[in-house]
Structure 1
Amino acid sequence: MAQCDCGATAGPLGVCADYYNTILAEEQLDPEMYRWHAVVVCVYLLQHPSRGHERHLDGQFRWLQFYLDRGIDAVLRLREHQVARNNHRSRAGYDMAPLEPYAPLPAGGPPARFRTSFCELPHGDGGFVLDGHAAYGERMRTLAEATEEAWKRLGPGS
């Protein structure tokens, strides 16, 4: 049985990349599901850092902590703030101030294994939201918690 970069065993759809790409495709057709886009991206890249850019991992880890601390509505407001800021020429650039209170990405990663991964997400009639958006959101929260937990076990930030 195939194993994913994050240590998970492949699920019925394949390895985590297959799940991730399917989620991204489904999000494009479902605005309610898209609410968790930032969480999905942060979790995937923190569980599979070789698929992203190392320089962004600290910010993604802080975004994840922000989400776990403040919830999806706060993430959506912060995303709107960042988009508005980037659309205004005199304030171009990413505003890290809202994320500064959160712990930096611990050194020594990535973790070898996570309590849960994309490969364990249920998928059926209705895609990833087969049992509703609230249940999908809870699964995203569980993935986020597992990701934060594994990274924090590595120790203090660099």
Structure 2
Amino acid sequence: MTQCDCGAPPGPLGTCADYYNTILAEEQLDPEMYRWHAVVVCVYLLQHPARGHEKHLDSQFRWLQFYLDRGIDATIRLQAHQVARNNRRSSAGYDMAPLEPYAPLPSGGPPAHFATSFCELPYGEGGFVLDGHATYGNRLHTLAQATEQAWKSLGPGTPSRG
């Protein structure tokens, strides 16, 4: 197998895409694991921006910073707030106000290397939560920190014109 497009060598499950897809499948069966879904998506797309949409990277970077600053419970509350605003009965749309205090996505990316990648997540009997949900959450926190640090190492961002 060749190196992943984020610069990481493949792990036992393959490239980061293989890890990401396996995590998404496991989340469907494990509501406790699903708590970190937004973190997983933001980290994956920020480490592999060609697999997402460029127009969303800034908000994903801000979501990631929000999570690192405020924690998983605040992130889940913000998700619920956004879903309520975006449901069919509401015309309010997406609320960027909670994310505005966070740094915009730096230009010149993506970073060539991340200190931690999906390919380094341990996997075994019990899947990604082989040693508990809290430990899984800690690993995702480390992955989120590595992603934020790599992007911020590129320099300051350009404020979005949202």
Q: What's the offset of the Cα at 1:93? A: 1.3
User: Greater shift after overlay, 85-94 or 138-147?
Assistant: 85-94
Residue of structure 1 equivalent to 2:42: 42
What is the distance in 2 between the residues matched to 1:19 and 1:87? Answer: 30
Q: Report runs of 4+ in structure 1 exceeding 6 Å deviation.
A: none
TM-score normalised by structure 2 residue count: 0.95
Residue of structure 1 equivalent to 2:79: 79
Q: What's the offset of the Cα at 1:2? A: 1.9
Residue of structure 2 equivalent to 1:56: 56
Residue of structure 2 equivalent to 1:110: 110
**3-state DSSP of counterpart to 2:23:** helix
Q: What's the offset of the Cα at 1:88? A: 5.7
Residue by residue over 1:48-81, the C-alpha shift from the partner in whole angstroms, topping out at 9 and shown as x without a partner, is 0000000000000000000000000000000000
**3-state DSSP of counterpart to 1:91:** coil
Q: Residue type matched to 1:83 in 2? A: V
TM-score normalised by structure 1 residue count: 0.98
* Identity of matched residues, %: 84
Residue of structure 1 equivalent to 2:19: 19
> Does the CA-based 8 Å contact 2:84-2:90 persist in structure 1?
no
Q: Residue type matched to 1:80 in 2? A: A
Residue of structure 2 equivalent to 1:137: 137
Q: What's the offset of the Cα at 1:92? A: 3.4
Instruction: Specify every segment of 5 or more residues in structure 2 that has no aligned partner in the other structure, as ranges.
Output: none
Instruction: Specify every segment of 5 or more residues in structure 1 that has no aligned partner in the other structure, as ranges.
Output: none
Residue by residue over 1:97-140, the C-alpha shift from the partner in whole angstroms, topping out at 9 and shown as x without a partner, is 00000000000000000000000000000000000000000000
User: Greater shift after overlay, 84-93 or 17-26?
Assistant: 84-93
Residue of structure 1 equivalent to 2:4: 4
Q: Output the aligned Cα RMSD.
A: 0.9
What is the number of equivalent residue pairs in this alignment?
158
What is the distance in 2 between the residues matched to 1:88 and 1:16? Answer: 34
Q: Residue type matched to 2:4 in 1? A: C
